[in-house]
Amino acid sequence: MLYNASMETMALTELRKLQDQRLKEQVAYVYDRVPFYRQQLDQANINPATFQGLKEIHKLPFTYKKALRDNYPFGLFAVKEQELMRLHCSSGTTGKPTVVGYTKEDIDIFAESVARSLAAGGCRPGMKLQNAYGYGLFTGGLGLHYGAEKLGMTVIPISGGGTDRQLMLLQDFQSEVISCTPSYALTLAEELKKRDIPLSAINLKYAVLGAEPWTETIRAQVEKGLGVKAVNIYGLSEVMGPGVSMEDVDEQGTGSYIWEDHFFPEVVDRHTGEPLPEGELGVLVFTTLTKKAMPVLRYYTNDITNIYYDKSIKRTHIKMGPIRGRSDDMLIIRGVNLFHTQIEEIINEIGELSAYYQLIVTRKGSMDEVDVVVELRDEVLKALEISEINEAIMEQYDLLRNIKGYFSKKIKDNCGLSMRVTLAVTGTIPRSEGGKVSHIDDRRHLA
């Protein structure tokens, strides 16, 4: 379903004209209203009056997250505080949070982007959406809420966590759609199985998943466990929130459409900052073309992906591939670059291993070491009739030793690194109660 057909199928030549015009207007807008950007543009010798739009976008300086922290709370805003309709901010794990704001016009665009996204994901007016994203300062809950209402859905604002209540309402309200993180969708699927609640007791058709990277294996597990089609929604607060891009339910696995009329994407080399050709992996960068309260020019997301046009599909907007990791989460282990998703890809190939894993990074002297902890699937544990794993149990079962040996060898062959592997039982890896799961526990700063 196309929510805004004229915009979603606009000819690329017309879309480029629109983007070019909006970019020129945005550069002039932030130059006049945001001292940070006036200084940045002056230093880059960019005059808004002569700026040539898209053909010169690569000359604009990047905006990094540090700029939001340095200008806390409202230094990057382009409007007066009295013109703001809403404020959100991040959790601020390293001190002050990053603050973002919205005018009424921004909220309308936010809702429209999410409505487009939900429509692409299979949602229809009249469907019930059980919104299990967290409400509050996090943009996810309210972002999905307003977009779903704009689409004409019935929203159940249950927020994150409260698994007992989530399962009760799934059965009592017969919700057709759930929105949450992939890890929480897996948690719900696990709980349905543990409690012997059959899929016939619920009415879910679609799961709208985002806020953390996930894989095709996780998609398959969620789809089987909840009886749904699972689609990816992507966004970030600094640019807007959820709904910057979305996967079409009929095109699963081919990438997520970026709503280019509002968010202009680039992918750049993580070392040089130079724009990369279509299809190549690099750091995703966004420029907001229509945001008024807190526009950003070339926001450096740190997310590693690629962008490409899929000309055989129903929309003209560009697509982005799955997030492979974050450039600032890339581990350098004994001179080798490592993303946790490389380990995840190996896990996905081994049927006995579950999607729950963690890399624990330590340092002994000058040597970095990585331990991989991964849970076995419940079916394996039941077949072996074990509820714990220790060295003695490992010695008893050829299957466990073979899994560990094969996994270790695959890591060495694929990544060029030797890692210690620990097989674990269900529940060993910390679960997210509606939030994000960290696959990396870097303890090198403790050494």
Least confident span in 38-52, 160-174, 384-398, 423-437: 423-437
DSSP label of 334: T
Beta strand pairing call for 420-424 and 367-376: parallel
How many other CB atoms sit within 10 Å of the CB of residue 398?
A: 8
Q: Indicate whether 447 pLDDT > 60.
A: no
Confidence of residue 149 (pLDDT cuts 50, 70, 90): very high
Classify 1-324 by CATH class: alpha beta
What confidence score (pLDDT) does residue 368 get? 85
Condensed to tens digits (0 to 9), the pLDDT of residues 321-371 reads 998 877 767 787 877 778 888 898 899 889 999 988 999 999 876 678 899
Residue 93 pLDDT exceeds 50:
no
Position 299 pLDDT exceeds 90: yes
At 145 the three-state DSSP class reads helix
pTM of the model: 0.82
- Strand ordering across the sheet containing 319-320: 154-156, 128-131, 177-180, 206-209, 229-236, 241-247, 256-258, 319-320, 307-308
> 307 forms bridges with which residues in the sheet?
320
Give 32's contacts (C-beta < 8 A, 6+ positions apart).
Answer: 38, 48
Q: 3.40.50.300, 3.30.450.90, 3.30.300.30, 3.40.50.620: which CATH number matches 331-446? A: 3.30.300.30
pLDDT at 162: 92
> What is the maximum alpha-carbon separation in the chain?
75
Q: What is the mean pLDDT of residues 137-143?
A: 94
Classify residue 38 as exposed, middle or buried by CB count within 10 Å of its CB (0-12, 13-18, 19+): middle
* Residue 88: closest CA among 259, 238, 219: 238
The pLDDT value given to residue 317: 97
Q: Return the sign of the alpha-carbon dihedral for residues 276, 279, 285, 290.
A: positive
Residue 24 in this model has a pLDDT that exceeds 80: yes
**pLDDT attached to residue 90:** 76
The confidence score (pLDDT) of residue 10 equals 97
pLDDT over threshold 60, residue 262: yes
Q: How far apart are CA 39 and CA 19, in angstroms?
A: 24
- pLDDT over 60 (residue 92): no
**418 with 412: CB under 8 angstroms?**
yes
Contact present, 305 and 247 (Cβ < 8 Å):
no
Answer yes or no: is pLDDT of 85 > 90: yes
Identify the CA nearest to 315 among candidates 404, 227, 248.
248
Judge whether 132 and 257 are in contact, CB under 8 Å. Answer: no
Instruction: Parse the chain into domains and list their residue ranges.
Output: 1-324, 331-446
Say yes or no to pLDDT of 164 above 60. Answer: yes
Q: Is 437 exposed, middle or buried (0-12, 13-18, 19+ CB in 10 A)?
A: buried
| Gap between the Cα atoms of 194 and 400, Å rounded | 24
Distance (Å, whole) CA 205 – CA 109: 27
| Strands 336-338 and 331-333, bridge-based pairing | antiparallel
The yes-or-no verdict on residue 2 having pLDDT over 80 is: yes
